[in-house]
Amino acid sequence: MSKIHSTAIVDKNAKLASNVEVGPYCIIGPNVEIGEGSILVSHVVVDGHTKIGKNNRIAPFASIGQPPQDLKYKGEPTRVEIGDNNIIREYVTINCGTVGGHAVTVVGNNNMLMAYSHVAHDCVVNNNVVMANNVSLAGHVVIEDYVVLGGFTGVTQFNRVGKHAFIGAYSLIRQDFPPFFTGKGLDDFSVQSVNAVGLSRRGFSEETVRELKNAYKLLYVKKGLVLKDAVDKLKEQAKDSAELAYLLDFILSSKTGIVR
């Protein structure tokens, strides 16, 4: 049986697993589903068509499933879907999707969203992502696996951040940021290096890190080498490397252009 504090307001139509904990002054709407072992500490609002998975811990004053900050939104029954084992800290906001996007905002598994971070409509935050304090994602942003976003970082609409990227604090990302690299800066945002420390911690081999460093030199160090020529050189190297093949596909599939 769920443990619901006497001051919490839980709509009779909400679906809560048997061992969900709902703390003081939480409000849960009628179209909400919460999975086993999840804890809403206190003063959490979960509304809209929202599905939350197992073993999530949601801190005070988080707001999930509220309407998007989009003037085109007219109350359509769009959704929020959150996976398992996430830590969602104080004052985090996660808005539902829009019919102009995918109609759903997604947060995957094993993520940590620190205080005051914002996930706007139609975003996809994949797995094992860390969003530090005050990180803001504009609408339609995709954050891939194992990305770390430093505090006060912003990502503008329709951009992606690739797997295993590390972004320094106080940065603003205006184009797709390639996987495996580090970046920082506000008006002068740029790619800095290969995320060698993060990759090593996650078990990538020294050979793979060397391959990625060579790719970084092609893309960012060799002066006068236009992107098309760098990509052509990468195509040869990517034949024998899954990581380089993924990097190449990320670049070729970019709709907003990559940071360069």
Annotated catalytic residues are: 121-122, 139
H or E element: which one contains 199?
helix 196-201
Q: CA-to-CA distance for 240 and 192, rounded, in angstroms?
A: 25
Contact 38, 19 (CB under 8 A): no
In the chain, the amino acid numbered 97 is G
How wide is the angle at C-alpha 126 spanned by C-alphas 120 and 127, nearest 5°?
130
Structure tokens at 154: 């912003």
Q: CA-to-CA distance for 176 and 157, rounded, in angstroms?
A: 10
**According to DSSP H, which parts of 143-259 are helical?**
196-201, 206-216, 227-237, 242-252
